[in-house]
Amino acid sequence: MKTVYFKMMLENVIANESTMRDNVQALVVSAIETYGQHGDTSRIEMLVNASIKMKSIRSQTLKEFIKEHANVKFTPVKDGVGFVVKKIGKGAIEVKEVTVSWYYFDKVGVAVEKEAMKVLKGALATIKKAQSDNKLKTMTVAESKMVAQLESMLAA
């Protein structure tokens, strides 16, 4: 494939992905509004169950977003993939205004850049915890020196 065609296809994929996320946002808003007006959870149920089949939609994030904005619960169906959606409790229908896009709701499933210092501190904390729980094999001299150097460098 020529570079020009590759770039064109890549631009189309990016544009389509953005359009799809925004279309799902419109569906989420409509489903939550319908629930708020009539107590009808069928749109929420259809949307979430369809999202499970779409690999590019983070369905867990979508569910958590909906639960944050409407007092509903998701019960897994017994003989298949999907959920039954019902109102929580016997009280009034509660909905919150949607002010943020569902795909910015959390970062579950999104690749995140890590800071090297945080990773190193985390590794050192894991080693210390394993030592205190007696779950770490006796370290070699080289390993002990490395841990000591790491501790002194991170303490500075």
Percent of the chain as helix, strand, coil, to the nearest 5: 60, 10, 30
Q: How many folded domains does the chain comprise?
A: 2
Domain carrying residue 60: 3-104
Instruction: Report d(CA 28, CA 50) in Å as an integer.
Output: 12
**Both 122 and 61 in a single domain?**
no
Q: Do 100 and 120 sit in the same domain of this protein?
A: no
- List the chain pLDDT tens, one digit each, 156 residues: 899 999 999 999 988 988 999 999 999 999 999 999 999 999 999 999 999 988 888 899 999 999 999 999 999 998 878 899 999 988 899 999 999 999 888 765 555 666 777 888 888 888 888 888 888 888 888 888 888 888 888 776
Domain-embedded: residue 97 = yes
- One DSSP character per residue, 56-77 reads TS-HHHHHHHHHHHB-EEEEE-
| In a domain? residue 111 | no
The answer to whether residues 27 and 62 belong to one domain is: yes
Which class for 67: exposed (0-12), middle (13-18), buried (19 or more C-beta within 10 A)? middle
